[in-house]
Amino acid sequence: MSSILDLEPKGLWKNFYSLTQIPRPSKKEEKVIAFTREFGEKLGLETIVDEVGNVIIRKPATPGFEDRQGVVLQSHLDMVPQKNSGTDHDFETDPIQTYIEDGWVKAKGTTLGSDNGIGAAAAMTVLEATDLEHGPIEALFTIDEETGMTGAEELKPGLLKGDILLNMDSEDEGELYVGCAGGIDSTGTFTVTNEAVPTAVEAFKISVTGLKGGHSGLDINLGRGNANKIMNALLCVAAKKYQLRLATIEGGSLRNAIPRESFATVVVPAENAAAFAQYVSEFNAEVKASFAEADGGLLVVAEACALPATVIDAAGQSGLFEAVAKCPNGVIAMSKDMEGVVETSNNLAIVKLDGDKITLAALQRSSVDADKEVLAGQIREVFIKAGAEARSHGAYPGWKPNVNSPILKTMKEVYNNKFGKVPEVKVIHAGLECGILGASYPNWDMISFGPTIRHPHSPDEKVNIATVDLFWQYLVETLKNVPVKA
């Protein structure tokens, strides 16, 4: 069986393989930080680890390119830890298992980490190469991009010396990104009372599984199912028709991933048990039909199980159902300036009962900062009216496009000369670090680009092999053509 180590360009795939062997979920990046620092030091290059764990490695210009503008090659070290039900994998200890299928590199039952491992591997390959032509290089490897962008947030001004930022965290080869959405998290917290289980009841475990999930920015417009919304729709009706009481619920796990699964334990009066089971079967058929095209693997089942220890109080249950039902989800508005681009969205990412607390977590994105704040306010109001405490936090700015960017002009020319066509110029409905980094380094001229990656933030994540080679060729040619300093 072919290994990714057999693929071209060999140096890049070798470095990506090394990253797949190092556990690096967000907020657990200690091992990959140490690895990256050791990588730079072994090359004899100036290597810095800042106060939060960002790694900076500097490489001097090659002979004859000393007068070029300095380039910062930027990627993030962390990855989204998502796995399929039944997959035995510990993201804090186990390596990612990769395989090749139909021209794509994939992972066995987990996220692959090509977001942003390919970008990081490309920077590593530039650092160790002896046959490239380029001006001064600084490789910036940030931490915690996926769960708050704290690495970018905490990067100190003045630490880097470059003039141009090449962010290598986009996911469509042949496209250049010059703007992105900002984001903000909104959280609702219910305090509930755990009560004794009513008498003469039967218990069921309800499972919503088989959804594709995906990136809550890139995939939010694809019409995929949200497991939290689907579960709530079932529970709301069943509570009224069959006197259902909720004992446990857990749906979704990451704020920036569309929730693929939700699980709940419920009880219903014994005389309603058969009718409830039939209702779940009918609900499954109905909801599968509604998502047949966008999310055909959806499955909703109810299985008899042991009685739970407690159920939550009726008022807490009602408030939860109301909050989830009324919380906006999916695409809120499309851009009026760029056809086909999502402008504002929300992802109801997490619904989880833990002890006497139920937490709802949602991520709002918008390329218009004011609209992002308005949507966050609306969601807080929904949570508060349903009886929860609510707050918004972790706001980060969008990246405003600069159509007169000099590096944009250069990279369009380079791509046309290299591949015979002009790359598309776009903005992305996702939270790139460029907006945050640009606030600390307003002198930077910024572009984001990368190979073709599909279904990031889900176990279906895959990276197209042919486009990785094109991405690498483009990066090499761009570095060779960076303008001289003014």
| pLDDT score for 301 | 98
Confidence band for 1, pLDDT divided at 50, 70 and 90? very low
| 30 included as an active-site residue | no
| 78 included as an active-site residue | yes
Q: Average of pLDDT values for 452-479?
A: 97
Angle at which helices 314-326 and 369-385 cross, to 10°: 160
Q: 4-181+398-480 and 184-396 share one CATH topology? A: no
pLDDT tens-digit profile of 201-248? Answer: 999 999 999 999 999 998 999 999 999 999 999 999 999 999 999 999
pLDDT averaged over every residue in the chain? 96
What is the phi/psi pair of residue 227, to 5°? -60, -35
What is the phi/psi pair of residue 478, to 5°? -65, -45
How many whole angstroms separate alpha carbon 366 and alpha carbon 94?
35
How many whole angstroms separate alpha carbon 114 and alpha carbon 4?
12
pLDDT tens-digit profile of 420-438? Answer: 999 999 988 988 899 999 9
Does the domain at residues 184-396 carry the CATH identifier 3.20.20.70?
no
Range with top average pLDDT, 86-90, 340-344, 476-480: 476-480
Q: Average of pLDDT values for 449-466?
A: 96
Torsion sign across C-alpha atoms 277, 280, 286, 289: negative
Q: Average of pLDDT values for 121-133?
A: 98
The catalytic position among 29, 138, 144, 145 is 145
Asked if the model's pLDDT at residue 192 lies above 80, the reply is yes
Domain boundaries, the chain: 4-181+398-480, 184-396
How many whole angstroms separate alpha carbon 339 and alpha carbon 473?
30
Query: Is-contact 414 474, C-beta < 8 A?
Result: yes
Q: Average of pLDDT values for 317-327?
A: 98
CATH code, 4-181+398-480: 3.40.630.10
Q: Which long-range contacts (CB under 8 A, 24 or more apart) does 289-296 make?
A: 291/223, 291/224, 291/225, 293/223, 294/222, 294/223, 294/224, 294/225, 295/210, 295/211, 295/212, 295/223, 295/224, 295/225
How many whole angstroms separate alpha carbon 429 and alpha carbon 217?
5
The catalytic position among 78, 138, 146, 371 is 78
